Amino acid sequence: MANPVTDIVLTSDKLSTDTVIEKISDAKCGAISLFVGTTRNHHDGKEVVKLEYECYIPMAEKTIKNICDEIRTKWPEVFHIAVHHRLGHVPVKNASIMIGISSPHREDSLSATEFAISALKAKVPIWKKEIYCDGSGDWKENKECQWKKDTKSDRSERTEI
């Protein structure tokens, strides 16, 4: 029987649901939960054409790994976890993040997936800039963000979303 996998990917490449599902599929698991966050075409009355993500990869990976460890503590039946986040430019309708979690039964995978996206938004230092149709852009912070007060001084014009 295979050991549990924690697959963390931060990439400028397009994300694939097939890849995530392949990473977390297992014969002992009857449930796969998948969250896909995509770029929407509007925010606060402005037309968004793409998002731009950046991060310090080692810090982001470490924080994501800690979240995955917490998931395994809270839901011991969770087997495989995949967290794939796109960096750089992400056009409208494209995926920015995919979280996949497998477990023997749906309750654990569903609850753990919901926890994972909320924890990622609150804890992982990944910055997002909305780019509008006129070429302008605004850096955004998640309203759940716990670390924003520490980094506020290094970014001007932050807006909560």
pLDDT tens-place string over residues 79-135: 999 999 999 999 999 999 999 999 999 999 999 999 999 999 999 999 999 999 999
Set out the domains of the chain in order of their start, with CATH numbers. 6-160 (3.90.1170.40)
DSSP string, 52-74: EEEE-HHHHHHHHHHHHHHHHHH
Look up the pTM and report it: 0.88
Tens of pLDDT, residue by residue over 11-34, are 999 999 999 999 999 999 999 999
Res. 158: pLDDT tops 70: no
User: What is the residue-wise DSSP string for 82-130?
Assistant: EEEEE-EEEETTSEEEEEEEEESSHHHHHHHHHHHHHHHHHH--EEEEE
